Amino acid sequence: MSPREVAANTADPTASDIDVFPVDADDGSRREYRLTTHFQPIFSLAHRRAVGLEALIRGTDSSGKMYLPAELLAQAPAGVARMQLDRQCRALHVRSFRRLHDDVSWLFLNVDPHIAVQGHRFGSFAQMLEENGLSPHRVAVELIETPFDDEKRLITAVEHYHELGCLVVIDDFGAGYSNFDRIWQLKPDIVKIDREMTRRVTVEPLARRMFTGIISVLHEAGALVCVEGIETEGEALCATEANADLLQGNYFAMPATWPPPEHACSELFGRLFAQFREESAEFRDRRRTRLEPYLAAFSDAVLAISVGADRTSAARALLDLDSTERCYLVAADGSQIGASAESERSAASRDTRLTPIRPITGTNWQTKPFFRRAIEAPGKIQITRPYLSATGPRLCVTLSYALLLNGMYHVLCVDLDFAALAGEDLAFGLAKAEG
């Protein structure tokens, strides 16, 4: 039994810490708000258990009306009173957290960046942690997304928390002002993805395809990625597929005064992983089946060209397939040799807006992944991720292959209409593909 479970079983849940915050109105009357801490667990996908708890404040007035964090803060007059309330909430969170006797998990605390930079007037954050016996390395400071006019002071605040030894978390990434410039400036340890993005990925194929890429960029920035606001199994699966590290949301556990026991979600994770495995396998099968005729026709074309057949006849069978857009040959320096052989269907649906970038002889593909990857691994077919076709208006994937012609490497390429290839299957994002 974990320390937390012991605590949960022995302590009286109603005896959790309660603070009172008085607000004096202009007419001299005084209202009091009872403050309690709710915890929402943050799970590690790899560990299948909670590794952190986000503390959320709940306020109740004398009539029993409940206030969510933003509503509660708004009750205190702006300025010193609001700052005091904010600090009082954090101190309460730390005390409540200590009462859980959890010696491993992170405590996620929300901090308004404005307050963070103003804040040493009433004693420091470090002091408060020390008084309550919580080591800073157990605390993840979550900076709320806000248009911040003085980015320099925000950077100073982040440096302050880093120096204390806290983890720094950026909230609501991908929406509003929480953008890549923040990542570079603040170098967060954990990035939380905006809830709106989480919701969008389950309904929009475009967002879903991009999700994996966004998370991988954040990983490359040296951050762990947390997907929050997960409310459905669909959203949980998307986050799993996209390689998130941490998950949070009512689907796993609602905020509560006592967090659920350590293994409360093991079964749920087991189901999630099983479904993920099944979907991935299904996806790979579908992808293989769909690509098979193209890979076969492409191999035939490579063979025909390498024994000296002319390109048009070598590619004919390939161009006759439903999703083929165009086939072209590229020299070792990346320049296209001759015009592309275009399928009739593709020629008929050209996007006139893309005329300035139509590929012609001499167009150089040296910097493109389909060229680079083929030339680095001759003799192997490469498959790209979907991107805007050079003749538009659709996404395409390119198959490419480096072969020797007259002693020089050449790359044969074929663009396939991604939407036609994927058909009705909107989740056909190639996101799960290993290629």
Partner 1 sequence: MVDLAPPLLEQYIAQGGHGASEELRLSSHFQPIFSLAHRRPVGYEGLIRAIDSAGRRVPPLELFSKAPHGAARIQLDRQCRALHVRNFQKLGNASSWLFLNVDPQVATEGPRLGSFFAEMLESNDFPAHRVAVELIETPFEDEGRLTSAIEYYRKLGCLIVIDDFGAGYSNFDRIWRMRPDIVKIDREMTRRVTVEPLARRMFTGIISVLHEAGALVCVEGIETEAEALCAIDANADLIQGDYFAQGSSELVPENARSDVFARLITGHRADFADFQKRQHLRLVPYLAAIKNAVQDLSLGATFSRRCRGC
Contact pick of 357, 377, 404, 408 for partner 1 (by CB under 8 A): 357
> Distance of CA 245 to CAs 5, 177, 192, Å?
24, 23, 10
Do the bridges between strand 30-44 and strand 18-24 make them parallel or antiparallel, or are there none, so unpaired? antiparallel
Residue closer to partner 1 (CB basis): 341 or 375: 375
Stretch that binds partner 1, among 220-228, 234-242, 277-285, 300-308 (CB under 8 A): 220-228
Taking the complex as a whole, the smallest distance from the CB of residue 51 to partner 1 amounts, in Å, to 25
361 binds partner 1 (CB under 8 A): no
Q: Under the criterion CB under 8 A, does residue 352 sit at the interface with partner 1?
A: yes
Indicate whether 124 belongs to the interface with partner 1 (CB under 8 A): no
Half-sphere exposure of 336 (CA within 13 A, CB side): 19
Q: Are 41 and 248 in contact (CB under 8 A)?
A: yes
Report the residue from 9, 66, 124, 177 that binds partner 1 according to the rule CB under 8 A: 177
Asked if 175 is part of the footprint of partner 1 (rule: CB under 8 A), the reply reads yes
Q: Is 87 left (phi over 0), alpha (psi -120 to 50) or beta?
A: alpha
The C-alpha atoms of residue 121 and residue 123 are separated, in whole angstroms, by 6
Taking the C-alpha atoms of residue 119 and residue 124, their distance in angstroms, rounded to an integer, is 7
Partnered with residue 141 across adjacent β-strands are 109, 168
Q: Which is nearer to partner 1, 268 or 354 (CB)?
A: 354
Collapse the DSSP code of 163 into the 3-class scheme (helix H, G, I; strand E, B; otherwise coil) and give the result.
helix
Which of positions 125-164 make contact with partner 1 (CB under 8 A)? 147
- Measured from the CB of residue 188, what is the shortest distance to partner 1 in angstroms? 12
CB 87 within 8 A of CB 118: no
The Cβ-side half-sphere exposure at 145, using a 13 Å CA radius, reads: 17
Q: What are phi and psi of 3, to 5 degrees?
A: -55, -35
Question: Least CB distance from residue 367 to partner 1, whole Å?
Answer: 5
10 binds partner 1, rule: CB under 8 A = no
Asked if 221 interacts with partner 1 (CB under 8 A), we say yes
178 binds partner 1 (CB under 8 A): yes
SS3 269: helix
The reply to whether 217 sits near partner 1 by the rule CB under 8 A is yes
Residue 364 found at the interface with partner 1 (CB under 8 A): yes
Of residues 260 and 334, the one with the C-beta less far from partner 1: 334
What contacts 304, CB < 8 A, 6 or more positions away?
313, 314
Applying CB under 8 A, the site for partner 1 has a residue count of 52
Question: Whose Cβ is closer to partner 1: residue 52's or residue 174's?
Answer: 174
Residue placing its CB nearer to partner 1 in the complex, 151 or 279? 151
Site string for partner 1, 232-251 (x = CB under 8 A): --------------------
Would you state the torsion angle of the CA atoms of residues 71, 75, 76, 79, taken in this order, to the nearest 10 degrees? 70
DSSP 357-392: G---TT-B-TTSHHHHHHHHSTTS-EEPPPEE-TT-
Return the residues of window 370-389 that contact partner 1 according to CB under 8 A.
372, 376, 385-388
Cβ proximity to partner 1: between 104 and 377 the closer is 377
Q: Does 184 bind partner 1 (CB under 8 A)?
A: yes
Residue 366 interacting with partner 1 (CB under 8 A): yes
Strand stretches in 112-215, DSSP E:
139-143, 167-173, 190-193
Query: Can residue 89 be called a binding residue for partner 1 (CB under 8 A)?
Result: no
205 near partner 1, rule: CB under 8 A: no
Strand pairing category for 324-330 and 336-342: antiparallel
Residue carrying the six token digits 């009512």: 250
Q: Which residues form the interface with partner 1 (CB under 8 A)?
A: 147, 174-181, 183-184, 187, 194, 196-197, 200, 204, 206-207, 209-210, 213-214, 216-217, 220-222, 334, 352-353, 355-357, 359-360, 363-369, 372, 376, 385-388, 390, 394-395
